[in-house]
Amino acid sequence: MILAGGEAAALLLERREQVDALARVGLGKLDFDIGAELERPYALAWVAREDADVIGFLLGWQVADELHVLDVVVAERARRRGVGRALVDAAMTDAVARSLRVALLEVRRANVAARTLYRAAGFVAVRLRPGYYDDPVDDAVEMAKELAAGALVEFERLIED
Ligand SMILES: CC(C)(COP(=O)(O)OP(=O)(O)OC[C@H]1O[C@@H](n2cnc3c(N)ncnc32)[C@H](O)[C@@H]1OP(=O)(O)O)[C@@H](O)C(=O)NCCC(=O)NCCS
């Protein structure tokens, strides 16, 4: 079951230990504290729940008319069952309902699972940041998905002379 908004945030806080354990495999180099993350007024959360357990979550930031996907993490035991895709799809649906126009994220080039998931969900690679990550060193692939038709083309227009 996928929860969004306040319901998702409440479950993340309530199941903090499970969330910390999940966060250790995700969130790259962010110093993760779910309470602090959720206090940000622009933070958005989606949670996959199975019985009493948090088996996955997606954290995002709403920045102007953009959704920044910070991370998606699914418990190892629950992977390849469509949970990650369901979280991404739920976040995209909510973002459209909020009139956001584009979703953005960055992912390690070596993270084939995540890149494949994002591509399947409609994201396209728009830029490469060589050596962006460390420990281990990796390139960042920036990916974007249009939520409103033409939103990515508008970026192009903004920088035209
Ligand atoms: C990436 C992650 C969230 C995927 O979650 P998931 O619930 O297993 O993903 P889904 O079952 O919804 O998979 C959806 C699609 O993504 C792709 N995919 C998922 N895992 C994959 C893998 N290990 N290898 C290749 N493709 C993969 C497949 O196309 C899959 O569809 P399919 O199962 O029909 O082939 C999960 O592997 C994870 O938590 N990884 C660690 C944290 C992380 O790296 N997060 C991303 C940071 S940017």
**CATH number of the domain within which 101 lies:** 3.40.630.30
Q: Indicate the number of domains in the chain.
A: 1
Quote the pLDDT of residue 27: 59
Looking from the CA of residue 26, the nearest atom of ligand 1 is 42
Regarding the beta carbon of 26 and ligand 1, being less than 6 Å apart is answered yes
Regarding the beta carbon of 138 and ligand 1, being less than 6 Å apart is answered no
How far is the centre of ligand 1, averaged over its atoms, from the C-alpha of 19 (Å)?
18
Quote the pLDDT of residue 69: 97
Regarding the beta carbon of 81 and ligand 1, being less than 6 Å apart is answered yes
Quote the pLDDT of residue 31: 64
How far is the centre of ligand 1, averaged over its atoms, from the C-alpha of 84 (Å)?
6
Quote the pLDDT of residue 23: 83
pLDDT < 70 positions in the chain? 26-31, 161
Contact between residue 91 and residue 69 where contact means Cβ atoms under 8 Å apart: yes
The 10 Å CB-count burial string (b at 16+, else e) for 116-153 is ebbeebebeeeeeeeebbeeeebebbbbbbbbeeebbe
Quote the pLDDT of residue 119: 98
Quote the pLDDT of residue 33: 87
How far is the centre of ligand 1, averaged over its atoms, from the C-alpha of 141 (Å)?
16
* Domain carrying residue 54: 2-158
Q: What is the model's pTM?
A: 0.94
Other Cβ atoms less than 10 A from the Cβ of 37: the count is 20
- Tell which one of 68, 69, 76, 80 to mutate to probe ligand 1, the residue whose CB is within 8 A of the most ligand atoms: 80
